[in-house]
Amino acid sequence: MAELDAAPETRSLAEQRIAVATQWQLMWWRFRKHRLAVGGTIVLAAFYLVALFADFFAYVDPQESDAQRSLMAPQSINWIDDGRFAPYVHALKGTRDPVTFKRVYVLDTARKIPVALFGRGEPYVLLGFIPMDRHLFTVEGAKAGESLFLMGTDMQGRDLWSRLMFATRTSMTIGLVSVALSLVLGVVLGGISGYFGGLIDTVIQRIIEILRSIPTIPLWMGLAAAVPNDWDVVQIYFAITIIISLIGWTELARVVRGRFISLKEEDFVMAAELVGCSKSRIIFRHMVPSFISHIIAATTLAIPAIIISETSLSFLGLGLRPPAISWGVLLQDAQNIQALVISPWLLIPSIAVIVAVLAFNFMGDGIRDAADPYL
Partner 1 sequence: MVAYVVRRLLLAVLTVWAISVLSFIIIHLPPGDYVTSYIASMSASGSAVSEGEATALREQLGLDKPITIQYVKWMGLMLQGNFGMAMEWGRPVSDVIGDRLSLTMVISVAAILFTWALALPIGIYSAVYRYSFLDYVFTFVGFIGLAIPGFLLALIVMYIGFAYFGANVGGLFSPDFAEAPWSMAKAWDLAKHLPIPAIVLGVAGTAQLVRIMRSNLLDELRKPYVMTARARGLPEYRVVMRYPVRVALNPFISTIGYLLPYVVSGSIIVSLVLSLPTVGPLLLKALIAQDMFLAGTIVLLLGVMTVIGTFISDLLLMWVDPRIRLGRQ
Q: Which is nearer to partner 1, 173 or 350 (CB)?
A: 350
In the complex, minimum distance from the CB of residue 181 to partner 1, in angstroms, rounded to a whole number: 19
Alpha-carbon separation of residue 67 from 49, 100, 153, 158, 247 (angstroms): 32, 18, 10, 9, 41
Q: Which is nearer to partner 1, 222 or 289 (CB)?
A: 222
Is 279:260 a contact under the CB 8 Å cutoff?
Answer: no
Which positions lie near partner 1, rule CB under 8 A?
Answer: 206, 209-210, 212-219, 221-223, 225-226, 228, 304, 308, 311-312, 315-318, 331, 334-335, 337-338, 340-341, 344, 347, 350, 353-354, 357-358, 361-362
In the complex, minimum distance from the CB of residue 196 to partner 1, in angstroms, rounded to a whole number: 21
In the complex, minimum distance from the CB of residue 274 to partner 1, in angstroms, rounded to a whole number: 30
In the complex, minimum distance from the CB of residue 307 to partner 1, in angstroms, rounded to a whole number: 9
- Which stretches of the chain are DSSP H helices? 2-20, 23-33, 35-52, 54-57, 160-196, 198-212, 216-225, 233-264, 267-274, 279-281, 288-316, 327-332, 337-342, 348-371
Is 274:351 a contact under the CB 8 Å cutoff?
Answer: no
In the complex, minimum distance from the CB of residue 22 to partner 1, in angstroms, rounded to a whole number: 29
Angle at 200 between CA 194 and CA 203, to 5 degrees: 105
Q: Which is nearer to partner 1, 91 or 359 (CB)?
A: 359
121 CB-near residues (< 8 Å, 6+ apart): 59, 60, 133, 134, 135, 138, 139, 140, 142
Phi, psi of 119 (to 5 degrees): -85, 170
| CA–CA dist 140, 108 (Å, integer) | 19
Q: Which is nearer to partner 1, 250 or 293 (CB)?
A: 250
Other Cβ atoms less than 10 A from the Cβ of 67: the count is 10
Q: Which is nearer to partner 1, 58 or 307 (CB)?
A: 307
Q: Which is nearer to partner 1, 12 or 335 (CB)?
A: 335
| CA–CA dist 34, 25 (Å, integer) | 15
Q: Which is nearer to partner 1, 132 or 227 (CB)?
A: 227
Is 118:44 a contact under the CB 8 Å cutoff?
Answer: no
Residue 375, amino acid? L
In the complex, minimum distance from the CB of residue 354 to partner 1, in angstroms, rounded to a whole number: 5
Residue 365, amino acid? D
In the complex, minimum distance from the CB of residue 308 to partner 1, in angstroms, rounded to a whole number: 5
